[in-house]
């Protein structure tokens, strides 16, 4: 039996859900298991979509949001201090405006992250898929 994702490679295991053949690489890449067996990519995606709430906790969207706010506030303060102390300015803007712009950008990004949290499981799966494809292509 050959791997379902890499049809030129021999399967070393099969999907615990649908029974599709999986090569060493796919076994290593599986996110979920069922009955102590790895899952194929399709079944991983299905599981991820079902387990959205688990991913939501795992990803810690709240912490990420707070982190984005914190970074934006710190960068804003740094530019404010540099503007005041060393006259380092962005496009001649008063330091306090530069600071507020950074805070605003941070707020927008944090708001966006918060909004997509209901799709965290899906986004996480897409990210893993993307990284996996990259590693197959360039490693
Ligand atoms: Zn499967
Ligand atoms: Zn494979």
Range of the domain at 99: 54-119
What's the structural domain count of the chain? 2
134 assigned to some structural domain = no
- pTM of this structure: 0.43
3 assigned to some structural domain = yes
State mean pLDDT over 1-27.
95
**How far from chain centre, in Å, is Cα 31?**
14
For residue 135, the CA-to-ligand 1 centroid distance in Å is 21
| pLDDT tens for each residue of 118-136 | 566 666 677 777 777 777 7
94 assigned to some structural domain = yes
State mean pLDDT over 35-59.
76
- Residue 9 and residue 35 share a domain: yes
Instruction: Choose among 2, 15, 5, 1: nearest CA to 129.
Output: 5
- Residue 3 and residue 24 share a domain: yes
For residue 61, the CA-to-ligand 1 centroid distance in Å is 28
The CA distances from residue 133 to 5, 44, 136, in Å, are 11, 15, 5
User: What residues sit around ligand 2, an ion, with C-beta below 5 angstroms?
Assistant: 3, 5-6, 23, 25-26
Residue 24: per-residue pLDDT: 95
Residue with tokens 């941070």: 106
127 assigned to some structural domain = no
Cβ atoms of residues 10 and 2 within 8 Å:
yes
- Residue 34 and residue 64 share a domain: no
- Residue 26 and residue 60 share a domain: no
């Amino acid at each position: 039996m050959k791997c379902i994702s890499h049809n030129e490679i021999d399967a070393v295991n099969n999907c615990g859900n649908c029974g599709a053949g999986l090569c060493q690489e796919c076994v290593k890449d599986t996110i979920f298991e069922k009955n102590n067996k790895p899952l194929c990519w399709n079944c991983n995606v299905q599981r991820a979509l079902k387990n959205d709430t688990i991913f939501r906790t795992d990803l810690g969207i709240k912490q990420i949001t707070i982190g984005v706010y914190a970074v934006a506030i710190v960068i804003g303060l740094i530019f404010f201090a540099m503007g005041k102390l060393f006259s380092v300015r962005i496009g001649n803007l008063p330091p306090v405006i530069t600071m507020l712009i950074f805070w605003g950008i941070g707020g927008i990004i944090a708001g966006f992250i918060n909004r997509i949290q209901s799709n965290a499981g899906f986004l996480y799966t897409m990210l893993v898929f993307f990284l996996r494809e990259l590693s197959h292509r360039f490693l």
